[in-house]
Amino acid sequence: MNLLAPNLPDPQRAFLGVERSVCGRIWRDRLDLRGTQTAAAIGQRYGLPELLSRILAGREVTLDEVENFLDPTIRKLMPNPNVLTEMDRAAARIADAVQHSEEIAIIGDYDVDGATSTALMVRVLRAAGSDPFFHIPDRMFEGYGPNVEAIRNIEAKGAGLLITLDCGTTSAEALGEAAKLGLDVVVVDHHQAGETLPVASALVNPNREDDLSGLGHLCAAGLTFMTCVALVRELRSRGHWNGGRIEPDLLQLLDLVALGTVADVVPLKGLNRAFVTKGLISLRNRENHGLRALMDAARLEGPPEAWHLGFLLGPRINAGGRIGDATLGTKLLITNDPAEANAIAQRLNQLNIERQDVEKRTLEQAEAEAYASLGHDEQGAVVIASGEGWHPGVVGLVAARLKERFSRPAFAIAMLGEQGTGSGRSIPGVDLGRAVRGAVEEGLLVKGGGHAMAAGLTVTRDKLGELRAYLEAKLREAVETARHEDCLEIDAAITARGANGELFSMIERAGPFGSGNPEPVFALPSHVVAYADPVGQNHVRVRLRSNDGAMISAVAFRAMDRPLGQALLGARGQTMHVAGTLSVNRWQGRETIEMKISDAAPADPLAAR
């Protein structure tokens, strides 16, 4: 298979001798000595190829976890839903509403996790004989989660039970209003919870302090699935399904759970991997009219893979909540009318195109401001860009691009008059959420919160300067350490000839890949850059040739004006070490393996021998 046997890992030695790549990183073997020993043990016990064993060990899969990792199943990995605090109360209260024909309302978040959670609950409740109505708060006018006005409107429509999905844990005021109105609430959420919880009939959240389930890594869609399992079981114990109603096949709904799990970027470990693995099988059956229409609108060719959920389907559903109608995503996922599904999918596809245009224009302005504030030598611990009239729906995406471009935490803030709302994205090792909460305590923000890698805030214009100074002082040391320790972890070295379908099939056994289970990164040592040219919007297309004449196509995305793209374009005919991940390119019925380039470095032919 033309894999190049790695040397024994030396923590002081750079992989292939690359101590500073064109992206400014040192390359390291993902496995240290202990990891190499674990890989050898995995290979011996299970008879697995060396490369696959290395990939598993590199993702901290233990000897006893290998079988469940390679074949993750719901039956093996999903515990009794009642291990979640108050799940029994939640299932009982929803079952009561179903059997007593109460009006049931649902409030979901405006992102993909919220849309898939809402659609999942609606479908199960419909199968049980209820006809719930749902409300997705408008990002711009209502903000995140339940609000008092929405609660009053829901009660006025005659609802006896409200279910909040992917929200509710921090909505004390709104849920307090529900209690005053006599509206029962069941919360199913996964966001961080404080010591004091809102009033609710049941609050299911693995991240509440008294929950010992160990399921804090699940997204709302996964928790909603577990709630539906508990509900169906509760109704079964009451004989509800004996009257001619057919129990829903919950496994067929895992396509929704998989989409929410990947789009919400939760770790693909344990039960989450089972959700995505089995959900992809369901998605390939194309039984959900909305998802089928969305795949067609996105021109998804071949069987859907995990990355399609995050980069093709998820953004289109999100587009409704970002710049259009926040209910479109949920409507798409619950419809059984193919014509309606096609119409909504086309609308979401168009909104996504508009979102991309808005994001591009905003990013150009944000980058210009960032360059001006950081200076020519790009000094500073954090990037803060703000602009009048920026669309609040794209600031999170812009912040992510700024973080990627400048390799440091970044905020993008949409100003409207004297106040702005913004989002921040961080780099590994820098806790952004803690810094934002600290800024709130210092009186620099109207409100704000988040977690280590992402945060949201509301700030007044007159506090922007103080906020910048506070974050610079608060994050400088952590950012300097994180940037100094920035490295690219390599799973193995291969050749262009070795990057074939057989190798790719082996790699896929360790998938699906995503957050918490990163795609394997391979190095192509001393390959000639036989071709390099710009392509598309800021990408660089490359052809790499190994010493034996084998060729592989590769692409560096969004790299043309970055050091990586410039290095590749300037290296035509030269030998380089190139690192990246492998993917399948499907075109006109043919499948070829190509590389997505992450980094590169000049090769020293003498050292590479």
* Structure confidence by residue, pLDDT tens digits, 293-312: 999 999 998 889 999 999 99
* Alpha carbon distances (Å) from 204 to 170, 212, 399, 603: 13, 12, 31, 54
Q: What CATH class is the domain 77-349?
A: alpha beta
Residues facing 124 on adjacent strands: none
- pLDDT of residue 359 exceeding 70: yes
How confident is the model over 173-230, as pLDDT tens digits?
Answer: 999 999 999 999 999 999 888 888 999 999 999 999 999 999 999 999 999 999 999 9
Mean pLDDT for 26-55 is 96
Q: Which fold has domain 3-30+491-608?
A: OB fold (Dihydrolipoamide Acetyltransferase, E2P) (2.40.50)
Query: How does strand 539-545 pair with strand 133-135?
Result: unpaired
Query: How does strand 454-460 pair with strand 447-450?
Result: antiparallel
Strands (E), 351-437: 383-388, 410-416, 419-425
* Domains 3-30+491-608 and 77-349 equal at CATH topology level: no
Mean pLDDT for 271-284 is 97
At CB < 8 A and 24+ separation, what contacts does 535-544 make? 538/565, 539/565, 540/564, 540/565, 540/568, 540/569, 540/597, 542/568, 542/578, 542/597, 544/496, 544/578, 544/595
239 band by pLDDT with thresholds 50, 70 and 90:
very high
How confident is the model over 575-591, as pLDDT tens digits?
Answer: 999 999 999 887 777 88
How confident is the model over 394-438, as pLDDT tens digits?
Answer: 999 999 999 998 989 999 999 999 999 999 999 988 999 889 989
Mean pLDDT for 337-355 is 96
11 band by pLDDT with thresholds 50, 70 and 90:
low
Mean pLDDT for 24-36 is 94
Provide the pLDDT for residue 6: 47
For helices 314-323 and 254-263, the axis angle rounded to 10 degrees is 70
For the chain, what are the domain ranges? 3-30+491-608, 77-349, 375-485
Provide the pLDDT for residue 277: 97
CB-based contact 185:208 (threshold 8 Å): no
Rounded Cα–Cα distance for residues 233 and 225 (Å): 12
Q: Which fold has domain 375-485?
A: Diaminopimelate Epimerase; Chain A, domain 1 (3.10.310)
How confident is the model over 441-462, as pLDDT tens digits?
Answer: 999 999 888 778 888 899 999 9
All residues at 6 or more sequence positions from 215 whose CB lies less than 8 Å from its CB, including other chains: 79, 83, 84, 206, 222, 223, 226, 271
pTM: 0.90
Q: What is the number of other CB atoms lying within 10 angstroms of the CB of residue 484?
A: 9
Instruction: Give the residue, 482 or 71, on which the prediction is more confident.
Output: 71
How confident is the model over 467-523, as pLDDT tens digits?
Answer: 999 999 999 999 999 887 789 999 999 999 999 999 999 999 999 999 889 999 999
Provide the pLDDT for residue 376: 58
- pLDDT of residue 606 exceeding 60: no
Please provide the average confidence, as pLDDT, over all residues in the chain: 92
